[in-house]
Structure 1
Amino acid sequence: MLQRWIAHLDMDAFYASVELLRHPQLQGQPVVIGGRRALPEGVPPADSPAWPRLRDYAGRGVITTATYPARALGVHSGMGLMKAALLAPDAILLPVDFDRYRHFSRLFKAAVLEIAPVMEDRGIDEIYLDLTDVPGAQASAPDDAHAGVRAVAQRLKQAVREATGLSCSIGVTPNKLLSKLASDMDKPDGLTLFTHAEVPARVWPLPAGRINGIGPKAAERLRELGIETIGQLAAADPAWLAGHFGSRQGQWLHDAAHGRDERPVVTWRDPKSMSRETTFERNLHPRHDREALGALLTRLAEQVAADLARKQLVARTVGVKLRYEDFRIVTRSLTMPQPTADGPTLRRWAARSLRDIDLDRRLRLMGVRVEGLQSADTVPDSPALQVQESLPLF
């Protein structure tokens, strides 16, 4: 019987690493990616005062990612840039460039597929791969029973580096749950491989919160119950776990702690929706900043349209998400007479969905979302859908 081998490949500090390809003089420096600050012209050295620094940032932006030297200073993705500035004031601040990141994402995935064709796409910088039937994966050597799959994983790492110039970390185990955990054990540029028999030695000493699916609230609840490590979770009575977390989650916690996971690598997943959103550098007023909001709505609709085109999909429903300055969120959506992936059409119907919103409160975020997705091949060509009446942005 073949040994099942599942790999989780995670690009190392992906956005930051892509930016360092463009600015190699910043290698080894604390660099934060986030916001939209202008960059200096030319190729200034890393210590040049021309680079924007975190200490000079003012706004509500958050960190998209950071280099490992920046992380060592305590900053991390999702942290507010102004809060990060207190920890790493001299860190260099670079703007995000999602078009460039998506380009490199396509490059590394295409390279991997040449070696391991069974791939589950989990986002811009991570994938699962079923290596079980990859030629050579079941081979062994006198001093390494898993030499074959280890060599395949090394080939994957080399292919990614040759295609992109970037490093990745790979975890290889018998299932997705363990491989996700393993890929984070030896970052950056790591390769971690172990079998189910090694779970007690490799996995049980780790904090329970390291299991993908145990979020901060669940981890805190486990700590309150005296469970700190995965090993302690594995030793807990399933009935006791069910009593505290419910039968379904309790059983999952017990299985996860023992490294049990039978989920297959899914090569195609029908998306239920797509969305793009942006947080403003300053609060915008629906009336006073109508032109700026209109331009942002157009850009978001065009980005969603481009995402649909890449996936060869069309959408039947389009809507807008708004977050007010007090963090209250409102959403509005409309179902169009015919599915479309046309950017201007999505923009017009998105604007139309906002006719009844509150116009007297400032906004901090806007997003465009499409639902009711289907293959573009199933929809006959037709003129773009027009909104008959002339409508303002809001």
Structure 2
Amino acid sequence: MPAPPIRRIAHLDMDAFFASVELLRQPQLKGLPVVVGGRSRSAGWLGNAALEALPAHAIPLEAFARLHSYTGRGVITTATYEARQFGIGSAMGMMKAAKLCPDAYLLPADFEQYRAYSRRFKAIIAQHAPAIEDRGIDEVYIDFTDVPDGQEEGGLLLAQRIQRAIYADTGLTCSIGVAPNKLLAKLASEWHKPNGIFILMPDQVTEKLWPLPCKKVNGIGPKTNDKLLTLGIHTLHDLAHTPEQELIDAFGSTYGAWLHRIAWGQDERALVMESAPVSMSRETTFERDLHAKADKAELSDIFTHLCQRVAADLQRKGYAGRTIGVKIRFPDFRSATRAISINHHTQDAATIRQIAGQCLKRIDLQRRFRLLGVKVDNLLPLEEAQDVDSKLLSQTKPHHACAAQLSLPFDE
């Protein structure tokens, strides 16, 4: 009887995904430091209607905003590798990034465009290897184990084929790590970025893994890493050679045992091919702190737009929810959240806005705030939600949005 195939798991990560999509339509920015962040792309993003009417590739360089002219509290969504060389990274405040590379070009984010490209590259992967775990807009895990060529040269041939197919269809590059499990594949996908492939075989695991600092592992956050450092544990080699019981004593039985396993490259997690969302939300951080009364018109528009976007997400993905909530974040970074459950499921923007508005009335909005978010919880697939609601219909009167628009703290 032939031996079972060796487990081969790939992690595919698109290279500077949002920025790369932007460079496809604005190739004049290629090779230059570019950051994407701040407000979403919309009419007026260049501040010049005549320039905005031009084909994107014909917009002159001097028309694009530079990072040094930015004021506000926006964060970097992504950056080209040319910008990253200055120390700029995702989630960094743009004012901080402006100090590192003031001449970097600044583009607003266009998430509809990014989602369209995300669907394209994932469809291409599925043509070559159908067992995929979706990890977000720009990354996936892929099971190569039983796929044709998935074992050839450790999975190199299949990885090359997928990489070429994505580039041929989209013009975008990606980096792929292929290893015995998800933990190692994610690490390996970083080792030959951008547009690289790294094949990690079982007999190479400790050689490649142990020199790495512990914080490189997804799941070891800053607090855990600080505690490990106080214990004299700096690298995964140190972690692997720390008695498991010492780790359990320091971090608890579950997490301590996990730390011991991952230090030896052990990860038995299966790919999750289908996972139902438990909630959907949209939020935005303002360029400046806003006040419910002084900025009521602007806040009303923002609030309506957030509710509409959450509703559109639910409708596009085929879900409905029955708990609607809001989040407010104040200048001192303290947050307030409120939620209301209704007795039927909804994916309707007007209903979401009406119930979310009731939530807002339960928060003291005397102070200015920096962030506003809207969330829908307790989700079910639409058909299942409709079945549940129909069964409850005879028992209780469903809650419907009021015909008259609710007067919110920042409505006119």
Question: What TM-score do you get using the length of structure 2 for normalisation?
Answer: 0.90
Unaligned runs of 5+ in 2: 391-397
Kindly indicate whether the alpha-carbon contact (under 8 Å) linking 1:290 and 1:393 is maintained by their aligned counterparts in 2: no
Kindly indicate whether the alpha-carbon contact (under 8 Å) linking 1:196 and 1:259 is maintained by their aligned counterparts in 2: no
Per the alignment, residue 31 of structure 1 pairs with: 34
d(CA) in 2 for partners of 1:77, 1:125: 13
Instruction: Please point out which of 225, 228, 237 is paired with 1:222.
Output: 228
Kindly indicate whether the alpha-carbon contact (under 8 Å) linking 1:26 and 1:46 is maintained by their aligned counterparts in 2: no
| Code of the aligned partner of 1:105 | S
In the TM superposition, structure 1's runs of 4+ consecutive aligned residues that sit over 4 Å from their partners are 43-47, 380-384
Per the alignment, residue 402 of structure 2 pairs with: 387
Instruction: Please point out which of 149, 152, 155 is paired with 2:158.
Output: 152
Instruction: Please point out which of 290, 308, 313 is paired with 2:319.
Output: 313
Aligned ranges 1:201-350 → 2 under 5 Å: 201-350=207-356
What whole-Å deviation, never above 9, does each CA across 1:1-50 have from its counterpart, x for those lacking one? 11111111111111111111111111111111111382362468898432
Kindly indicate whether the alpha-carbon contact (under 8 Å) linking 2:306 and 2:373 is maintained by their aligned counterparts in 1: yes
d(CA) in 2 for partners of 1:73, 1:390: 49
Instruction: Please point out which of 120, 123, 134 is paired with 2:147.
Output: 134
| Code of the aligned partner of 1:185 | W
| Code of the aligned partner of 1:8 | H
SS at match of 1:95: strand
| Code of the aligned partner of 2:241 | A
Kindly indicate whether the alpha-carbon contact (under 8 Å) linking 2:8 and 2:179 is maintained by their aligned counterparts in 1: yes
d(CA) in 2 for partners of 1:316, 1:268: 22
Question: What TM-score do you get using the length of structure 1 for normalisation?
Answer: 0.94
Instruction: Please point out which of 100, 104, 111 is paired with 1:98.
Output: 111
d(CA) in 2 for partners of 1:48, 1:270: 44
Structure having the larger proportion of residues in helix: 2
Kindly indicate whether the alpha-carbon contact (under 8 Å) linking 1:55 and 1:86 is maintained by their aligned counterparts in 2: yes
Moved more, 50-59 or 154-163: 154-163
Per the alignment, residue 167 of structure 1 pairs with: 173
Q: Sort the Cα spacing of 1:315 and 1:247 in 2 relative to 1 into closer, same or farther, 3 A.
A: same
d(CA) in 2 for partners of 1:390, 1:153: 54
Q: Sort the Cα spacing of 1:239 and 1:47 in 2 relative to 1 into closer, same or farther, 3 A.
A: farther
State the 1:310 CA deviation.
2.2
Unaligned runs of 5+ in 1: none
State the 1:135 CA deviation.
1.7
The answer as to 2:81 corresponding to 1:68 is yes
d(CA) in 2 for partners of 1:174, 1:193: 10
Per the alignment, residue 120 of structure 2 pairs with: 107
What whole-Å deviation, never above 9, does each CA across 1:75-94 have from its counterpart, x for those lacking one? 11111111111111111111
Kindly indicate whether the alpha-carbon contact (under 8 Å) linking 1:349 and 1:387 is maintained by their aligned counterparts in 2: no
Moved more, 197-206 or 3-12: 197-206
Aligned ranges 1:75-90 → 2 under 5 Å: 75-90=88-103
SS at match of 2:62: coil
Q: Identity percentage over the alignment?
A: 51
d(CA) in 2 for partners of 1:44, 1:339: 45
Kindly indicate whether the alpha-carbon contact (under 8 Å) linking 2:310 and 2:349 is maintained by their aligned counterparts in 1: yes
Kindly indicate whether the alpha-carbon contact (under 8 Å) linking 2:177 and 2:188 is maintained by their aligned counterparts in 1: yes
d(CA) in 2 for partners of 1:393, 1:197: 63
Kindly indicate whether the alpha-carbon contact (under 8 Å) linking 2:27 and 2:57 is maintained by their aligned counterparts in 1: no
d(CA) in 2 for partners of 1:325, 1:219: 29
State the 1:376 CA deviation.
0.5
Per the alignment, residue 130 of structure 2 pairs with: 117
d(CA) in 1 for partners of 2:202, 2:238: 17
SS at match of 1:326: coil
SS at match of 2:10: strand
SS at match of 1:128: strand
State the 1:326 CA deviation.
2.3
* Alignment RMSD (CA, Å): 1.9
State the 1:138 CA deviation.
3.0
Q: Sort the Cα spacing of 1:312 and 1:390 in 2 relative to 1 into closer, same or farther, 3 A.
A: closer
The answer as to 2:370 corresponding to 1:364 is yes
d(CA) in 2 for partners of 1:67, 1:78: 14
Count of aligned positions: 387
